[in-house]
Structure 1
Amino acid sequence: MSAALRSWPGADCRRGSDVSRRRRQALRSSAGKSSTGREAVRALACWLLPIAALAQDAAELSQRAASAMRSQRFGEAESLYRELITMDPSNPMWRMNLGLALHSAGRFAPAIQEFEAFAKARPQAGPVHLLLGTAHLKLGQACAAIAPLEKAVAWNKERSQLELADAYYACGRFERAARAYEAVRTMAAARQAAHCYWQARLYADAKRIFQTLEPAFAQEARFQYEYGDTLARADGPGAGLPYLRRAVEARPEWIAARGELGKALLATGDAAGAVPHLEAASHEDATLLLPLSRAYRESGREADADRALKEYRAKTAAK
């Protein structure tokens, strides 16, 4: 209580009946009556003093919590923000700050609850949606991360675009992921965009980006495989063959690459060259038994061709 208020005669807020009487008098008073005006001031003092004390306590706790956050004492900050929520539950910023303390401590599940409470109170797009989406990503909840991250991009595209692209990708929405990565405009993001277009079987778009990346990624086996497969599907097996060869030379244990190389060799007339690659890959992908049967037959190995065809029919019928 201020010195001025303490010096007022009768400014005693402890007597409930007297306070109620003063409040009623204050509400009924007319501005022209000075004695009643003094009663109104006294009544207002009884209302404002607890609020002022509360505000002072909240300000002190807020400063202590902010100091704890700056010093990375996140557990202490959490306790202080929980106390502030109890003291002032109508202020959603305490929920936001509590969520930030939990997020900073790696406690993403409870952080999500606080961020959602804040976002419900203040639904306009803002940084809370970036934090909320990131927390979902940290928990492996990519599909749940998409909606808040889309709002985060509406708030600040530069700061949120990559996280949204990651969410689309992890959720299996490859076309959207590709376009989101492409919008980031870095070489690493462009490489991921090409991969996503390839995953989405949008080979024209994949080829467009792979072409620009070839000087930087020509020595990468995965790039050779994905680009070779893209060219084989977009422009014909012969176009992808050199890239698929290099991918398998770099990683002969790569079964998927060997399967695509085997199909490309068979399609370009090298049945004998296709056989070892298709044999290796057909152990993991039964659908490759069909082109393997054809490669055997074109190589003059009729018995092997019949055996591979019989095995193909048995395995695919079982599915």
Structure 2
Amino acid sequence: MRKIKIILVSVLILVLALLTFACTQKPSGEIVDDEENDLVVVGFSQPGAESAWRVALTDSVKDSFTEARGYRLIYKDGKSKQDNQIRDIRTFIQQGVDYIVLSPIVETGWDTVLDEAKAAGIPVIICDRNVVVSNESLYTAFVGSDFIAEGETAISNLENILLDEETGEVKSANIVHIQGTIGSSAQIGRSKALENALEKHDNWNVVYEDCGEFTKAKAREIMASALQEVGADGIDVVYCENDEEAFGAIAAMNEAGVKYGEEGIKVISFDAMNTALVLCLDGQISVEVECNPLQGPYIYNLISRLNRGGAVPKITYVKEQYFTKDNLSNEIIEKRKF
């Protein structure tokens, strides 16, 4: 009888121990609040890491949301697919994050998942590229670039380059247009500026156009094809919608032995990464329009204000500038962070 009691007590202790252990385990995929630090949890969805520019944006956000500042950042790489980003956002919702930061690969197709975030009471900050949704209340704020303004800045500088000082007229131009990812805000805005310029200047023509997906490899193929089909003599300008595409176009022209820059085809580019600015200072890239990736501090300021119960502006444009050989120096390049 005594042995039975001992066995029953032992079994009871074991059961209680197992229950205690089970209750202290963190459920898979869930965020458990850190009671000591009371960290604010931010989920960050990026479309990928296809360029140095996007890596700089990621680093800027990571540097802004640190545990030392009271935040825990969960970073997700969408591998250049919208479906992956949508899945990642739904994961953030399931985890119960406090805020979601989304850098969308394209503008459309976000209504359903953003509605889910809104229903869960999670504010969403859109950064870099914007979204087009049926109801703008689906996201809290946008931080990023004015891409049409960027394009207009590039066109204005190109007009100055092509200006005939004797006649005061803008010279004719045959243009190779290497587009960014179709449907992204950057591609739409920068392409729109070029389209408007073509309507304004009837002596400007796009002689070759294709999508470079914001990558060096694809742009290299496109420029090589343009040189074969049109010929270097039939091209005056290559309008690249980011630096990676400019690098690809330049590589193709080098391989073909084609002159570019001050004595040949004018290269127009966007982003103004340091490696591209070196080429601009050397005269190889004619115009560089900055697209500022250091958006982390802007996003941090918005979320900090929201966290204090304050209101935030719907749209915040980051500060940007443009560069040509005439306003650049080694000192300027060395001081820049990207």
TM-score of the superposition, structure 1-length normalised?
0.28
TM-score of the superposition, structure 2-length normalised?
0.27
Which has the bigger relative contact order, CA under 8 A and spacing at least 6? 2
Q: Greater share of strand residues, 1 or 2? A: 2
When Rg is computed on C-alpha atoms for both structures, the one with the higher figure is 1
Q: Greater share of helix residues, 1 or 2? A: 1
